[in-house]
Structure 1
Amino acid sequence: MMHKRFSTRDVPHQHGFDHGFDHGFDHGLGYWREVVAETYFKLQLRCGEGDRLDGQLDVWDLNGVQLSRLQSGALAYRRLRQHCGAQDRQLLVTLPLHGEVGFSQLGRSTRCAPGQFLLESSEEPYDFGYRQPNAMWVLKLPVATLKARIGEPGRFCARQYDNRQGMGRLFHDYLQWVTRHCDTDHGSTARALMATQLIDLLALSLRQHPDALQSAHSAVRDAHLARIEAHVRQHLSDPALSPERIAQASGISLRYLHQLFKDTGQSVAQWVRELRLQSAHEALSRANGRTTVAQIAYGAGFGDQAQFSHAFRKKFGHAPSEMLRPLRAPVHPPAR
């Protein structure tokens, strides 16, 4: 898969940026700021007084999910309010390897050590840093991919999650397996499959954390939502899936079903539609040259292909057929 490497050792000593959040002199920090903005999103940086920053960042693309390994000397990163909202909603999942990192967002502060991971949202200001040289694996993924599995992910940010037991261990172990295959070109279908499985395992490990699950809603409400989601995902390909059927299968009234979704910012029908579009996008990422748009549409529960294509383009900015086109391009033998 595509591999990019950035290193402060490849740039001159002076790069024209300061060493503090707002003023000072440069020691590789300006270059690193540009690299961080390109790889993740805009942040202010600060490092030790008078020390030249030594950093390296390796980046791999997993078809919509980005995997990176960041290593550098002590650094503080700050995302300001003016940095937020200028791009698609993104999440970072950080797994420190050598030392503890500190993180504050949404009024919560936490310390995350090796053996743990945390979530950072691009939508809200935050502070992130480490006082000693460190290295970490970082996953960057669109909010929509995780929201389709766990609901609004903001309530999971700025909390530490254990990756040494339970589903957290499974997520960590699978991530480690993926990192060992970073530089092997398995093809776009395999990359998309790895990305989907990583997100699924991440969602399961987040759900397992009791504080996060009960941070904004009651345990009873979350139990209902978990049962609703399980049923919907199992029957997503059924075009007759409706709020009435969902409520009946979940053992609750239709009125209570709508009440559960009242504070999510979307209706039950909108949520199901988002799940279907996300499922279709993932299926297209794994498709082969014989797959048709109609198969994808019907497999995701859309009864009308034209309606599906319109909704898909509106959400993702391109038609579903555009994701299939490269798979059908003729392969010409090399000229002799």
Structure 2
Amino acid sequence: MKREVHLRSATDKNTYRDLISSVFASYDLRFSPNRQFSAEVKCVDIRDFKFARVHANNQLGVRQHRQVEKDQKDELVLFTSLSGTIHLTQNNREVTVRPGELGLYDLGSPSIWKHGDPTAVLNLVLPGEVLRRRLSGVSRTTSFPYVVSSGVSRLSHGFFVGLWNEVEAISSFDAELCTGYLADLLALSIERGEKSLPLNRPSARRALYHRSIAFIRSHLEDPDLDPQGIAEAVGISVRYLHQIFEEAGQSVCACLRDARLERGHAELSRPRTLAYPISEIARRSGFRNPSHFATAFKRRYGLSPREQQNLANSRED
């Protein structure tokens, strides 16, 4: 697994601009006059995810249309304040995030952020696709600021900060796995934005979609899992289940297959997996036939299960 840790300090504004550009995207940065500048950026890169803790003085960051068009970023930024207050404006919405609260914004749209002096911000940059495939749709023109108050949202915040505190102590594989769990919690927080809604409301359909995904992932070992069983567990008809998945751009069966392959890939990516036969990993992923698993796995990942297993065992953590 790839894990890179960088701790860089900036005593001049140009160095800091370069740091922000490399970690996030291109911004026009503006600083308060007559203040001594200092900043520190600590980054932990895990595959497609980038954690970054930023300590800096009073400043304003503006990401303009020209920079969005040049960068072509399809990434989201989850962030929380460790100290100080952050103000974010995107798509004509302005939100304020304080310690204990979460914000989410899109690098694919113009934005403005500003914060006081001093401020410590914890960020996670993640591919937009990571969240989109966990939801029934993430609009490319909508920012998602959230106030953490209770339930899943509070759990998301606690998991985010806790993962950052432990990300260097745990294995790279576990760090990547936990980052995926954080994305699951974030998606669940979004889906739980409204409660007790009629089933024909878009937000209710999204919640049902996410509930179905959660049920699928928790029952992957069952080779008999099918749309009928999923619909019964969620409490809707099979026809309606297919409808909400079609709205998300994926069939129920394709989602089930992909989730099983992802489980198998995760198992085969663990170091020292040679002790487990491929047939056992296929079974734990919900495949009755190991050859069917091997064929689908190679089509998806470009490697056979055995090749993936050997690759994982050859890596040094």
TM range (shorter): 0.7 to 0.9
Offset, 1:306:
1.7
TM-score by length of 2: 0.76
Matches within 5 A, 1:96-245: 96-154=81-139, 158-163=143-148, 165-184=150-169, 186-210=170-194, 217-245=201-229
In 1, distance between residues paired with 2:283 and 2:137?
A: 27
Q: 1:234 to 1:173 in 2, by over 3 A?
A: closer
Which has the larger displacement, 128-137 or 298-307? 298-307
Residue in structure 1 matched with residue 40 of structure 2 by the alignment: 56
Q: Please say if residues 136 and 210 of structure 2, whose CA atoms lie closer than 8 Å, have aligned partners that are also in contact.
A: no
How high is the TM-score relative to the length of structure 1? Answer: 0.73
Superposition CA RMSD, Å:
3.7
Which stretches in structure 2 are left out of the alignment for 5+ residues? Answer: none
Displacement of 1:250: 4.0
Kindly provide the CA deviation profile for residues 31-51 of structure 1, in whole angstroms up to 9, marking residues without a partner as x: 3232223222x2222212656
Map of 1:43-82 to 2, 5 A cutoff? 43-48=26-31, 50=33, 53-73=37-57, 74-80=59-65
Query: In the comparison of the two structures, how many residue pairs are matched?
Result: 305
Map residues 212-291 of structure 1 onto 2, 5 A cutoff: 217-247=201-231, 249-290=233-274, 291=276
Q: Is the 8 A contact 1:96 1:116 kept in 2?
A: yes
Match of 1:307 in 2: 296
Contact 2:30 2:61 (8 Å CA) reproduced:
yes
Preserved contact between residue 261 and residue 267 of structure 1 (Cα < 8 Å): yes
Question: Could you say what secondary structure the match of 1:162 adopts?
Answer: coil
Q: Higher mean Cα deviation, 194-203 or 242-251?
A: 242-251
The share of aligned pairs that are identical, in percent, is 27
Cα 1:39–1:257, aligned 2, differ >3 Å: closer, same or farther? same
Q: Report deviation, 1:4.
A: 0.2
Question: Alpha-carbon deviations, 1:250-302, whole Å to 9, x = none?
Answer: 44444333332343233333333443344444444445332566554553345
Deviation at 1:105, TM superposition (A): 3.0
Q: 1:183 to 1:234 in 2, by over 3 A?
A: closer
Q: CA 1:296–1:37 in structure 2 vs 1: closer, same or farther (change >3 Å)? A: farther
The answer on whether the counterparts of 2:191 and 2:207 sit within 8 Å (CA) in structure 1 is no
